[in-house]
Structure 1
Amino acid sequence: MRPRHWAKLTSASALAIMMGCLPLRAETPIQIDATLGVPLPEQPELKLLDSEQPASPPAPLAHSGAASEPDIVTGTVSAGSRLRDPAKLDATAPAEAEEEPVTLDIPAIEMPATDPALVPASKAVEPAPPAPQTGPLQSVEPLVPPPEMPKVVVTVPPGLEFAAAVAEHLQDAVALHRLSERERNEIIAAYQANENKPFWIDGKGWNEAGKRIVAQLGRAAEDGLRPSDYPLPAFEASDKAKLAEADIRLSALAVLYARDARGGRIDPRRLSKLITPTLYLPSATEVLSELAGATDAGAVLAAYNPPHEGYQRLKAKLVEMREHLDDTPLVRIPAGPPLKLGMRDERVPLVRARLGLGPSEDQVFDRSTSLALADFQKKAGLPANGILSERTLAALGKPATARGEEDIVAQMERWRWLPPDLGTDHIMVNVPEMRVRVIRSGKVVHEARTIIGKPESATPIFSHKMDHVIVNPSWYVPPSILKKEFLPGLAADPDYAAKRGYVVTRTKGGGISVRQPPGERNALGWIKFMFPNEHAVYLHDTPNRRLFAGERRALSHGCVRVENPFALADQVLGPEWTHERLKRLIGSGERRINLPQPLAIHLVYNTIVVGADGHITRFDDVYGFHRMVRQALEQRG
């Protein structure tokens, strides 16, 4: 065939082939090599070789913009057919039935050896070879297990579960009628500061501190207090509301007990304007804070009672008296008119029997009966006049033991009026006993007789500090004496004061002042011991020293006259001011000498004193203060 004819035939065959491929090109865009300008050959299909599973049919090539992306694989690509030069293609040659597929030969992945330090001891064994994966990816247990997380335990603070109940019952539970509004508010504030958590209970009842407080309240009678004043609340351990209320009430009772133990049961100033001790009543805040932080809350509560030896002896005597019942026959004496010496009455034999005078048919109220009755009245704190009055008759109707208990309790109450700390060194003036003592480190180093105020001008009861002494003092007549004695005398005789050695001066307000200059006749003697106070009383010397020899020495206008005052001065002024040096100052001008340091002084009213041997000594209730205290306690009960 000639070359021209062959070229035409080849062109026609190529055109026919191109026309036959047009439908396919319409579906798949032809990619052109940008450098050579010739169409790129169609990429062969890729197939994965799997030695264990038959090859899956080849997936069609993804079109541009398909919904999903083809999976990406890695490995060595081996071509199933090689690219051919288009110029060498024979247009008349028959087309190949199937092209050789392209396969991926993926080698096994070598994993690095496991670090033994990262493998737990319990798992330090040789790992088994991994099995070929035949399905979807499985979760792989990590070589190093995660650390164990600590258990989270939510602990509720102790008592917090009672907070709501405590807050609800606070106002009602603190409402004890003998607690002031201030004390109630302090108790409420203490709970609020504690987040309304209870102080004395746990989930089952009283905690250890609560039990000790309860026990001390139950022993109140041992200190002369009434257990009925501190009624303990009842509750069920399963009732949180009752438990919370009991906790609050116990706090209120503890505060009340502490106040009573310090002398808060009665107000001494209401008994008499001459009884003016300074009470050291603890606040509710102080009581609760001390109890809550104490190892032994019961002991702390008991310590609010007086620590003084005189009080402790009375307490022991009270226990002793209650252990021994009174075997004196109790005689019922009918009511009737008062009986006096020499009167005749059918009740006289009964009175004699009650007083232990023995049987008698005589109905005359004779001297022996009157004296025995006066002795009974003295012990009972009544006016010892020997007259069978209504009050004496009522006292005779009580057993001797009960009457003795009341006296002891009333005396214990007056000890509560003293400061808890009397002072290592102090002066004690027992007014009913009419004696003064100087105590140093618990031992009496000096004591002497005194003269006290008359019943109508009683010596006041209080504590203070002595700070100076005046030698050669002047005496300024107090207003009470000026009004009763000097003004009437001056009205009758203008020289009334001058004749007695007094100096009268006019004051700015138009009144007068009467002064007795220092001297042998001065009412204060040569020396006076000063402790400035609201009653303007002090200890001093006296020119009438013979009066100390008498048994009844209630003779002054209220001040306390001291026997041998210069011996007392030796004790309070120290070694610098000796007895001889002080006496050399007598007769000169008024001289003030300050004490080296203030010395506590206590004017007390002890009508019942228990000695170290347990013996009871009673002194006259000269002002009736003992009777006032006993009656006040009875009425309050």
Structure 2
Amino acid sequence: MVAHAPIPFARRTAHAVALAALLAAAPGLSAPALAAPDETRLAALDGRAGLDAGPLPAASAPAEERVPSPLDAMPTYPVPADAPQASPPRTGSLGPIALPPTIGAEALVGPMLIGRLGAIEGDLGLEYGADDVAGLRAFYAARAHAPAWIAPAADGLGWSEAALALAHVLAAAGDEGLDPAAYPLPPLPAGPAFDPAAAAQADIAFSAVLVRYAQDARGGRLEPTRLHELITPTLDIPGAEAILSGLADAADPAVALADHNPPHEGYRRLRTALAELRAAETAPEPMVAVPPGPVLRPGARDARVPLLRARFGMEAPQAEAEARVYDVALAGAVEDFQREHGLVVDGIVGNQTIAALASVDPARREGDLLANMERWRWLPRDLGEKAIFVNVPGYRLEVLDGGAIVHETRVVVGKPGQETPIFSDEMEYVVVSPTWTIPPSIMRNEILPGLRADPNYAAARGYEVIRNGSTITVRQPPGPRNALGHIKFMFPNGHHVYLHDTPSRGLFDTIRRAYSHGCVRVENPFALADLLLAEQGWPEARLRALVGPRERYVHLDEHVPVHLAYFTLEVEDDGRIVPHEDIYGFDRLTREALGLDP
């Protein structure tokens, strides 16, 4: 779902008899099926419901078989001579009711709510699932079909204080990176001449809008797995009844609705950055785009050098032969940019610097901020008292304790085409001196072609080939050459990925650390293990003593949440935005799904 279409709430039955049937079968009514009413009752019903009416049918049931209607308890009132007149009714309609100011107008809305709820599937369309339709019904049934958001007003009927406060939250949806046009305040007939059916319809419509906002705020706008098969967060989308009951019972409904947005500090900082970007008095001109390409070092020649000079407002050399030379002056400008944006200050233009140059372009920045804010909605609202947080594009692992970062280390993540999946799970145990069983994808793409080309392929790499009939399993026993190093951290999941050590230590010194087959390689794995296990008697020294020729398992007394996340923009304590390369193109996919400009 890219953009929200207006919700068709205006469908009405063609005749008052149809509404009587809906009332008879509506949930929450204990009366037996209604008999066809006589012309007098139909006239009163049609007037109250404000429905288009055709010719009235003759009563088809004998008088003695009729049962009392719930509408019989609704008194009829003469129209006072001095009452304000409603607009002329359409042909064939008895029009809305005009009531004296002393009559509680909202009392007539309840029976109309039952009728509107009877046709709610047609009203709401495909935007709402069966569970939410049932939830709306249950919410109103629990309150005896009393209206939730309308209340008496000086001139008859209006939105309640709670509804008006909630409407302010809806109107400010853009501040949260949502689309305010998706959450309209339904029209409510006002004044002493009013239509109870239309008022009931507006009350239900407003409830549906509140449900949509709350669910979108919790990550319901997109289906992440449809963006990419390896984006598999477990979303916590509340149902309609829970949302509406929570708002109706809240001491401050506006705060309760706004609280459906992510509570995380990272999200709040992005929201502040979005507000500051939009508050700029004048929109700056788009910057010169510098495309990706080979790494540029001082002395290199490249067609992008003139673009870099234009990007930093530097004049081109007079000699044409030097126009494409990446000289010391330009490298100095690049260093200043890297320093300002939290990058490695080396004057070398690689993928990270190119990504940073693109991300600060105001034409792209807002879309990237919105995409990153949306991905915060995919994380659990409670990350855990102690948790492991990996930002894949930032190549960084953090250990959080009470919300504070108590440990930080570099990581190597999956390369494009073998991406590290994005999801949350719980770490259960660690394995010292692990055996690596080659996963099917690596078997198919690397091991089997290697074995076909060279019979000694496996032995040369220390692999063991195990044949069981037509099945071949290849594994690497514990040892210094093992691809998992000396320790791995297990949070069993459907992607078969985990955190682990590695013998390829030199990769941690590179800037772009996307080299693995999907798992996350940790630079200081035993320091991480110490933080997780020292309190239960397994400090780093004792764990290192387990290194040997066979696997050794140590289970965590309490499971630790692990979050593999994807954020290309992070905001530092001082408000500075640090960009990261969109290594898997997930920014682009998210922007496209949200209907944002690329």
**TM-score over 0.5 (shorter chain):** yes
| Alignment map for 1:79-228 (pairs within 5 Å) | 159-170=106-117, 171=119, 174-175=123-124, 177-203=126-152, 204-228=157-181
1:236 and 1:521 map into 2 onto residues whose CA distance is: 76
- Give a deviation string over 1:158-217, Cα, whole Å, max 9, x none: 944202322233335851553223212321332233332210111321112211211110
Tell me the secondary structure at the aligned position of residue 417 of structure 2.
helix
Q: 1:357 to 1:215 in 2, by over 3 A?
A: same
Q: Is 1:292 matched up with 2:248?
A: yes
2:315 and 2:218 map into 1 onto residues whose CA distance is: 47
| Alignment map for 1:213-292 (pairs within 5 Å) | 213-238=166-191, 239=194, 240-292=196-248
Instruction: Report the aligned-residue RMSD.
Output: 3.5
Q: What amino acid maps onto 2:481 in structure 1?
A: R
- Give a deviation string over 1:326-347, Cα, whole Å, max 9, x none: 45346999xxxxxxx9779xxx
Q: 1:209 to 1:636 in 2, by over 3 A?
A: farther
Kindly indicate whether the alpha-carbon contact (under 8 Å) linking 1:574 and 1:596 is maintained by their aligned counterparts in 2.
no
Q: Could you tell me which residue of structure 1 aligns to residue 64 of structure 2?
A: none
Among residues 420, 431, 455, which one is paired with 2:392 in the alignment? 431
Kindly indicate whether the alpha-carbon contact (under 8 Å) linking 1:427 and 1:438 is maintained by their aligned counterparts in 2.
yes
Q: 1:342 to 1:607 in 2, by over 3 A?
A: closer
Kindly indicate whether the alpha-carbon contact (under 8 Å) linking 2:286 and 2:363 is maintained by their aligned counterparts in 1.
no
Kindly indicate whether the alpha-carbon contact (under 8 Å) linking 2:136 and 2:241 is maintained by their aligned counterparts in 1.
yes
Q: Could you tell me which residue of structure 2 aligns to residue 5 of structure 1?
A: none
Out of 266-275 and 187-196, give the one that drifted further: 187-196
Kindly indicate whether the alpha-carbon contact (under 8 Å) linking 2:367 and 2:596 is maintained by their aligned counterparts in 1.
no
Q: What amino acid maps onto 1:554 in structure 2?
A: A
2:137 and 2:203 map into 1 onto residues whose CA distance is: 12
Q: 1:368 to 1:222 in 2, by over 3 A?
A: farther
Kindly indicate whether the alpha-carbon contact (under 8 Å) linking 2:287 and 2:311 is maintained by their aligned counterparts in 1.
no
Q: What amino acid maps onto 1:214 in structure 2?
A: A
Q: What amino acid maps onto 1:187 in structure 2?
A: L
2:583 and 2:244 map into 1 onto residues whose CA distance is: 41
Q: 1:343 to 1:499 in 2, by over 3 A?
A: closer
Q: 1:433 to 1:329 in 2, by over 3 A?
A: closer
The Cα of 1:417 is off from its aligned counterpart by 0.2
Kindly indicate whether the alpha-carbon contact (under 8 Å) linking 1:205 and 1:243 is maintained by their aligned counterparts in 2.
no
The Cα of 1:522 is off from its aligned counterpart by 0.6
1:524 and 1:399 map into 2 onto residues whose CA distance is: 38
Q: 1:332 to 1:591 in 2, by over 3 A?
A: closer
Q: What amino acid maps onto 2:181 in structure 1?
A: S
Unaligned stretches of 5+ residues in structure 2: 1-74, 76-101, 290-300, 342-349
1:352 and 1:326 map into 2 onto residues whose CA distance is: 24
Kindly indicate whether the alpha-carbon contact (under 8 Å) linking 1:174 and 1:248 is maintained by their aligned counterparts in 2.
no
Kindly indicate whether the alpha-carbon contact (under 8 Å) linking 1:176 and 1:252 is maintained by their aligned counterparts in 2.
no
2:197 and 2:314 map into 1 onto residues whose CA distance is: 63
The Cα of 1:560 is off from its aligned counterpart by 0.6
Q: Is 1:536 matched up with 2:496?
A: yes
The Cα of 1:237 is off from its aligned counterpart by 1.6
Number of aligned residue pairs: 459
2:457 and 2:363 map into 1 onto residues whose CA distance is: 56
Tell me the secondary structure at the aligned position of residue 216 of structure 2.
helix
1:231 and 1:262 map into 2 onto residues whose CA distance is: 19
1:544 and 1:452 map into 2 onto residues whose CA distance is: 13
Kindly indicate whether the alpha-carbon contact (under 8 Å) linking 1:326 and 1:401 is maintained by their aligned counterparts in 2.
no
Tell me the secondary structure at the aligned position of residue 234 of structure 1.
coil
Q: Is 1:626 matched up with 2:587?
A: yes
Q: 1:570 to 1:353 in 2, by over 3 A?
A: closer
Q: Please, what TM-score do these two structures have when normalized by structure 2?
A: 0.70
Q: Please, what TM-score do these two structures have when normalized by structure 1?
A: 0.66
The Cα of 1:359 is off from its aligned counterpart by 7.5
Q: Could you tell me which residue of structure 2 aligns to residue 442 of structure 1?
A: 403
Among residues 447, 456, 462, which one is paired with 1:486 in the alignment? 447
Q: Could you tell me which residue of structure 2 aligns to residue 549 of structure 1?
A: 509
2:287 and 2:514 map into 1 onto residues whose CA distance is: 36
The Cα of 1:505 is off from its aligned counterpart by 1.0
Q: Is 1:412 matched up with 2:412?
A: no
Tell me the secondary structure at the aligned position of residue 220 of structure 2.
coil
Q: What amino acid maps onto 1:169 in structure 2?
A: R
1:503 and 1:513 map into 2 onto residues whose CA distance is: 8
Tell me the secondary structure at the aligned position of residue 464 of structure 1.
strand
Q: Could you tell me which residue of structure 1 aligns to residue 478 of structure 2?
A: 518
Kindly indicate whether the alpha-carbon contact (under 8 Å) linking 1:330 and 1:354 is maintained by their aligned counterparts in 2.
no
1:308 and 1:528 map into 2 onto residues whose CA distance is: 29
Q: What amino acid maps onto 1:494 in structure 2?
A: P
Tell me the secondary structure at the aligned position of residue 219 of structure 2.
coil
- Give a deviation string over 1:541-593, Cα, whole Å, max 9, x none: 11111221111211111111111211000011133001111111111421110
Report which structure shows greater RCO (CA 8 Å, sep ≥6). Answer: 2
1:260 and 1:244 map into 2 onto residues whose CA distance is: 25
| Alignment map for 1:349-498 (pairs within 5 Å) | 355=311, 357=313, 366=324, 400-498=361-459
Kindly indicate whether the alpha-carbon contact (under 8 Å) linking 1:326 and 1:400 is maintained by their aligned counterparts in 2.
no
Tell me the secondary structure at the aligned position of residue 439 of structure 1.
strand
The Cα of 1:532 is off from its aligned counterpart by 0.3
- Give a deviation string over 1:450-471, Cα, whole Å, max 9, x none: 1111112111110000010001
Out of 430-439 and 230-239, give the one that drifted further: 230-239
Q: Could you tell me which residue of structure 2 aligns to residue 605 of structure 1?
A: 566
1:435 and 1:342 map into 2 onto residues whose CA distance is: 31
Q: Could you tell me which residue of structure 1 aligns to residue 58 of structure 2?
A: none
Q: What amino acid maps onto 2:187 in structure 1?
A: A
Q: What amino acid maps onto 1:191 in structure 2?
A: Y
- Give a deviation string over 1:386-440, Cα, whole Å, max 9, x none: 9x9xxx9xx99x9954532221111100000000110111000111111111111
Kindly indicate whether the alpha-carbon contact (under 8 Å) linking 1:610 and 1:617 is maintained by their aligned counterparts in 2.
yes
- Give a deviation string over 1:336-386, Cα, whole Å, max 9, x none: xxxxx9779xxx99x78984636879999957799999x99xx9xxxx989
Tell me the secondary structure at the aligned position of residue 466 of structure 1.
strand
Among residues 307, 310, 315, which one is paired with 2:263 in the alignment? 307
Q: 1:210 to 1:328 in 2, by over 3 A?
A: closer
2:218 and 2:386 map into 1 onto residues whose CA distance is: 22
Tell me the secondary structure at the aligned position of residue 300 of structure 1.
helix
Tell me the secondary structure at the aligned position of residue 421 of structure 2.
coil
- Give a deviation string over 1:513-559, Cα, whole Å, max 9, x none: 00100011111011000000111000001111122111121111111
Among residues 266, 276, 281, which one is paired with 1:320 in the alignment? 276
Kindly indicate whether the alpha-carbon contact (under 8 Å) linking 1:209 and 1:297 is maintained by their aligned counterparts in 2.
yes
Tell me the secondary structure at the aligned position of residue 455 of structure 1.
coil
Q: What amino acid maps onto 2:492 in structure 1?
A: P
Q: 1:469 to 1:319 in 2, by over 3 A?
A: same
Tell me the secondary structure at the aligned position of residue 634 of structure 1.
coil
Q: What amino acid maps onto 2:464 in structure 1?
A: V
Kindly indicate whether the alpha-carbon contact (under 8 Å) linking 1:255 and 1:284 is maintained by their aligned counterparts in 2.
yes
1:187 and 1:463 map into 2 onto residues whose CA distance is: 31
Kindly indicate whether the alpha-carbon contact (under 8 Å) linking 2:367 and 2:597 is maintained by their aligned counterparts in 1.
no
